[in-house]
Amino acid sequence: MKHDVPVIFVHVFYPDVWAEMAEEIARSFDRPFEVVLTCPNPALELVSVQSPHLVRQRRIDVENRGRDVLPFLLALKEVGPNFEIGLKLHTKRSKHRSDGEAWRLHLTGTLLRPAAGETVPEPLALMEEDTRLGLVAPANHMLSLDSRIGLNARALRRVADALQLPLDLEALESDHFAASSMFWFRRSALEALNEPKLKTLFEREKGQLDGTVAHALERLFALLAERRGMIATAAEAVPALRRASREGASFSEMASLARTELRPLENPFILPVPELWRRYPRLMLVAHHLYHHLPRPMFVVARVVFRIMMRRPRRSISG
């Protein structure tokens, strides 16, 4: 069977991380693929993927705005419609975490890992076998949006308006999103991202932790695929979906399996949303405001005090 050449989009902020990812990618393909790199620093030297199967590697220099999301939109426009399946990656480092490297390896590993006896990534194999699949997130990273909209409500409305996308934020909380902003995707599943108005919405980089247009779109990628009549899932569901597809499962059966096979609670890197945020969502807004306006040393002290208070046992009414 002749396959379309997949395109791997990588936003590179850390060239040393990209060098490691380039080796991962080279090991993952035994047939043609393309690579498109976006980079906010024209002075950085970026290695090439060393593989006989690399058809082309191109680089697009972009401004440092919109994190990995705006560069992705720009790269999609640059590449155009001449591909069917793509992979979106970025050089995630998570410097604030001791397990940042392990987290990144989990993300890229589960997206690039082949099935037993095969030499192409299993999510890619599934999407080539079944055109009903529109997006596959890393294993355990299709997460509930319950209590994960909060700070992003305003940005979500701006994006929805630009896309002319009917959006009920309360209903959206019962849906899921591809956390980490890395995933395999079908180009036609994300055609809405071609809207020119989107590119004008992105804020300048100020170290924001949440609440930006980039964070809003992260919460919508899977939804956009589903609104196009396709299935969005995560890598842990792929083996079951491939079996079901080969057995002739209907769309509704595949869509149901794509959800029931998800295992977000097995994610060792993303903690559940604290019950405090669920009960008092405005506290998250206050915490975000303090992060951006308190001097850094004062914020660190406030965070330590808050954690100590949260660990203290509650006193009973009689005590």
Residue 1 in domain: no
Does any domain span residue 316?
no
User: Do both 188 and 237 map to the same domain?
Assistant: yes
Which of 61, 108, 113 shows the shortest CA–CA distance to 88?
108
For residues 117 and 30, state if they share a domain: yes
Q: Tell me the whole-structure pTM to 2 decimals.
A: 0.85
254 and 131 in one domain?
A: yes
With pLDDT > 90 as the criterion, what percentage of the chain qualifies? Answer: 71
Same domain, 221 and 152: yes
Residue 319 falls inside a structural domain: no
pLDDT band of 72, cuts 50, 70, 90: very high
| Beta carbons within 8 Å of 149's beta carbon, 6+ residues apart | 156, 169, 172, 173, 219
Domain count, the chain: 2
Q: Residue 115: which pLDDT band, with cuts at 50, 70 and 90?
A: confident
| Full domain range(s) for residue 292 | 275-311
Do 280 and 216 share a domain, yes or no? no
Residue 280 has pLDDT above 70, yes or no: no
pLDDT digits (tens, 9 = 90+) for 121-152: 999 999 999 999 999 999 999 999 988 887 88
Strands of the chain (E only): list them: 7-11, 33-39, 54-61, 85-90, 133-137, 142-144, 176-178, 183-186, 231-234
CA dihedral 63, 68, 73, 79 (to 10 degrees): 90
Q: How many CB atoms lie within 10 A of CB 80?
A: 8
Take residue 5 and report the two structure tokens written for it: 């050449």
At 316 the three-state DSSP class reads coil
Q: Is residue 41 part of a domain?
A: yes
Looking at the fold, whether 282 and 223 belong to one and the same domain comes out as no
pLDDT reported for residue 117: 87
Alpha helix (H) residue ranges in 117-237:
122-129, 153-163, 169-172, 213-218, 221-227
Answer whether residue 96 shows pLDDT above 60.
no
Check whether residue 109 and residue 171 sit in a common domain: yes
